[in-house]
Amino acid sequence: EIVLTQSPGTLSLSPGERATLSCRASQSVSSSYLAWYQQKPGQAPRLLIYGASSRATGIPDRFSGSGSGTDLTLIISRLEPEDFAVYYCQQYGSSPWTFGQGTKVEIK
């Protein structure tokens, strides 16, 4: 099983700041099979990024993804109030498909 470890656990930032979220895999994953999801309290997760760097439909361009192999990064270039949420990375290339434990982006 591929274990995904996200860091940091919590990121305290102010609106307008840049957020950098990391996800490290226990073994190499094809970048074609890496995704990021956003989850707000009481809501279902929402797909942000797939294939490591492709934005899902309707996702603003302040969200960008990069990485390959064992290291994946999500960058939010300038935080908007609605971006404060929990973010999960996921690999879907090797069963069982696994999620990271999440990074909470909170208002400082």
Partner 1 sequence: QVQLVQSGAEVKKPGASVKVSCKASGYTFTSYGMSWVRQAPGQGLEWMGWISVYNGNTNYAQKLQGRVTMTTDTSTSTAYMELRSLRSDDTAVYYCARRAVAGFFDYWGQGTLVTVSS
Query: Which token pair is 28?
Result: 């190499």
> Within 62-91, which residues bind partner 1 (CB under 8 A)?
88, 90
Q: How far apart are the first and last CA of the chain?
A: 35
Q: Which of 53, 56, 68, 73 binds partner 1 (CB under 8 A)?
A: 56
Q: Is 100 in the site for partner 1 (CB under 8 A)?
A: yes
**Which letter does DSSP use for residue 56 in this model?**
P
Q: Is 60 in the site for partner 1 (CB under 8 A)?
A: no
Q: Which of 97, 106, 107, 108 binds partner 1 (CB under 8 A)?
A: 97
